[in-house]
Structure 1
Amino acid sequence: MYQHPDFLDARQCAAMIRLIDANKRPSTLLTPSADPNFRTSESCDMDRWSPDVQPIDESIAALLGIDPAQGETMQGQRYAPGQQFRAHHDYFHENEGYWAKMVESGGQRTWTAMIFLNDVEEGGATWFPLAGIRVRPKRGLLLAWNNMNPDGSPNTNTLHEGMPVGAGVKYIITKWFREGFWLRD
Structure 2
Amino acid sequence: MVFSFSSAARDPDRAELRQLGETVRARLDAAPAAYRLPTDGIEIYAVADFLSSDDCRRMIAKVDAVARPSPTYNDNIDGGRTSYTGDVDPADPFVRTLQRRIDDLLGIDPALGETVQGQRYAVGQEFKHHYDYFLPKHAYWDEERRRGGQRSWTAMGYLNDVAGGGATDFRKVELTIPPRAGVLLVWNNMMPDGRPNPRTLHAGTPVTQGVKYVLTRWYRAQPWR
Specify the TM-score bucket, using the shorter chain as the normaliser: over 0.9
TM-score (norm 2): 0.79
Give the structure 2 partner of residue 17 of structure 1: 60
Q: Secondary structure at the match of 1:14?
A: helix
Which moved further from structure 2: 84-93 or 26-35?
A: 26-35
Q: Name 2:11's counterpart in structure 1.
A: none
Q: State the one-letter code of the partner of 2:60.
A: I
Aligned-pair identity (%): 49
What residue is the counterpart of 2:191 in the other structure?
A: 149
How far apart in 2 are the matches of 1:77 and 1:49? Answer: 19
In the other structure, the counterpart of 1:102 is 144
Deviation at residue 34 of structure 1 after TM alignment: 3.4
Q: How many residues align?
A: 182
Q: Higher helix share goes to which structure?
A: 2
Structure 1 unpaired stretches of 5+: none
Unmatched tracts of structure 2, length 5 or more: 1-43
2:69 maps to 26
- Equivalent of 1:123 in 153, 165, 172: 165
Deviations 1:50-93 (A, max 9, x none): 12211110111111111000000110000000000000000001
Instruction: Give 2:125's match in structure 1, choosing from 44, 68, 83.
Output: 83
Over alpha carbons, which structure has the higher Rg?
Answer: 2
Once residues 62 and 77 of structure 2 are traced to their aligned partners in structure 1, the CA distance between those partners, rounded to angstroms, is 30
| Aligned positions of 1:6-85 closer than 5 A | 6-36=49-79, 38-85=80-127
SS of 1:52's equivalent in the other structure is helix
Residue in 1 aligned with 2:46? 3
| TM-score scaled by length of structure 1 | 0.96
Q: Which amino acid aligns with 2:166?
A: G
SS in 2 for 1:175: strand
2: CA distance between counterparts of 1:71 and 1:78? 21
Q: Which residue of 1 aligns with 2:180?
A: 138
